[in-house]
Structure 1
Amino acid sequence: MKLATYREILEYMHSCGTRECLKTLAKKYPEHSYNTLVSICGQDYQKKTRKSHHKHHKPEVMEEYYQRYLSGVCKPHKEPVLLHLAEEVDLSHSLLARIVLERHLAHNKYEGNNPPKSVVSQMMKDTSKIEDVALSFEVKQLCYSSVGSEYEYILREKLHNRGIAFIDEDEMRSRGYDKTPDIKLEVPIAVDGQVVNWIESKASFGDEYSHNTYLKDQFWSYWNRFGPGMVIYWFGFIEELDIHRDRGILLKEDFPDDDIVTLQDTFK
């Protein structure tokens, strides 16, 4: 997606309200998937909530959210407590889920202390790790953690089908790596003539803010440890951001069916 098109979409979202205009945008930009538009909308809403981030992360406010969750989940009805609370306090769904999960762990496992961020992140990614069944269900409803896992599975299947050997994030952590991409190739491949040692899967749209944040917090770290790699933004990205190929970071919207060379191919 061109940067100009991305800005047009944002401008329209801001003029009509981001939650009401997706159907209109889908008709106006049929060349872009509905998931792409939803991702752009969600990321724009997250940017808005970051401005009030400090307000929601005051200790007394975080505890209030947790107590309101406990009060709501004890009631006989089965309505989603966290979903309604997130809408009421105008906070992104995933952020409220994380706050409540952090307070739950602090109360029940860490003697009032904040749990390690890595523990919370793993539970947000795989809600089956949350022992409290009700909270696990509520968090999964809010953060849609299965979306990221679904696309990681798709990526692994594509690699298996091509006969490309790799290790995943969990195996890398078991070997003692701290910062890990989703996939580390056992043998490098070439994509569009670029060497690829690792692959990161992002079930989102690559906008300026998120991509630059990922570059700083993740991608350059992977590059320092493992050399050049590839990032897949499954819901698309701003084309003008794909400017680091010569330095070893390649952007794609899918795992390529062609323009890829494996070690096996070189011996044919």
Structure 2
Amino acid sequence: MSESLDFTFKSDAGSYDRKAAVERTSITMGRPLALLLHTLAQRSDAEFNPFPVQIGLQACLVGCSAKIIASWCPGHWDYADFIAAIYSRIVGTTPGLAARWRAITERQLKTPSDGAVQTEMEEYLLRNLVDALIVAGWRRSSENARTLVDTFRERIAQVAKLALRLNTMLSDDLEILIVHSDETFDEERMEDAYDVGSEEEYADVNQIVCTTEMGLKFSTEDNVLLKPKVVLQAALTGETRYDD
């Protein structure tokens, strides 16, 4: 995906558009990766390397998709968080009522299969991908924006459709597992996506940068059913020689 876009333009690192995008992408892909992409985009001494950008786009899609899958009401994030907080309290105080309360509440909400919700989630994914591309140095213009939409709309629609389907299919006792950049790598609970953490040259660079493939675990246990795949700093250090 990243190889088909224009990253030849070096935009102003201090521009409001870029700074705001860095803050937003810090939520979807993690701050270390957002800052790395932002820094690499300003380096005039190196040719464009699509690898870290591709990692950033994967992390962004995974982060956004996980949010859709886990949400009580995709698109209405604050409302969904409020409902989730109430449900968590019910589970903690009167667990016997939790399943019935959840079933009744879900029937009152707009179903994720609704066409309007599908469109909203496509726009949500697209907005976040655009932010990630801006941080990485993508040359934003009306023509480029149209090309992006025309080229990737079908793929984005498919991702949104699958995420919404999982939102309805995932049972109450299962949840998506994402590893964040402030967590420690644990081979019992996650996989090194590029298998570089054990290489002697990068043995000390094992900080987690982001998750590129979601995992699955039981909600009430720490038992991992499917390990998420994570990118370690070593993988990006090897590709970019950037280790700050």
Global fold match (TM > 0.5): no
TM-score (ref. length: structure 2): 0.27
Q: TM-score of the superposition, structure 1-length normalised?
A: 0.25
Q: Which has the higher contact order (CA 8 A, sep 6+)?
A: 2
Larger radius of gyration: 1
